[in-house]
Amino acid sequence: MFFNKKKKIILEVYAPVGKLAELFPPVRTEDAIPKWFQNLPAKTDEGLTTKHCPGIRDLFSKGIIIPAWADYSITLGPQGMTDMSCGMPPLGNAPLGSHPIDFQAHGAWPNHINLKFNSPWVFWCSEPIDWLWVQPVLWQKTPQELSLVPGITEFKHQSMANVLTLAELPKESKTISIKAGTPLAQLVPLTDREWELKVAVITPEIYTKKIAQWDFSLAKHAQYQQRRNILNGK
């Protein structure tokens, strides 16, 4: 597959309702730099600060931030999740799910639970560019509370952008609270080409033109790679 490297990549993100697109949309990372970094002086009496770290500065210039689209309150106990509330109304999927680690990833992450934040957003990209999932540690006050499961996703052949995390099961009951607007993940495009982010509310026309193929053109239980091969004529 050959790409026109001069052509700008378009990443489109669609909300189910307009208020979500107004209040908590995904944004380019450079437009979401945390306040502590913005307020940090370049130098103090003790020496240079993180403002001089090229690794952090470069990360702030890459990709997009996906903020929490609603308030979450998640109560965990020694055996798993005991309670959950979310400000997002049902949109087809439960606001929070969980994959059973014991058999889906047997031997990994002992004494942890998978917490899958089911995103209301529908993603579409003009080309099958790989996007790397990065934990937004630089935005998190307690980064050890929720660990993002890393991965690579493309949004030409599929449109889901659920946020997969891990939390350690406590010895005593504890509650994790997440405020709407709090960064849940950073997506970094694995390309040096120019790209543009567009956020809008989904319409029947957009759904039919760009998304419906996943629901109607292919078998319901076709796996991702099968779907990708069919659409690419393989």
Contacts 24+ apart (CB under 8 A), 86-91: 87/180, 88/120, 91/16, 91/120
For the segment 78-87, the average pLDDT, to the nearest whole number, is: 93
Residue 88 banded pLDDT, cuts 50, 70, 90 = confident
- Per-residue pLDDT of 131-186, as tens digits, reads 999 999 999 999 999 999 999 999 998 899 999 999 999 999 999 999 999 999 99
| In the predicted structure, residue 95 carries a pLDDT above the cut 80 | yes
In sequence order, the β-bridge partners of residue 9 are 195
pLDDT confidence of residue 93: 76
Residue 211 banded pLDDT, cuts 50, 70, 90 = confident
The percent of residues above 90 in pLDDT, for the chain, comes to: 79
Instruction: Kindly report the pTM of this predicted structure.
Output: 0.89
| In the predicted structure, residue 92 carries a pLDDT above the cut 70 | no
Token readout for 225 is 């790679």
The CA distance from 234 to 229, in Å, is: 5
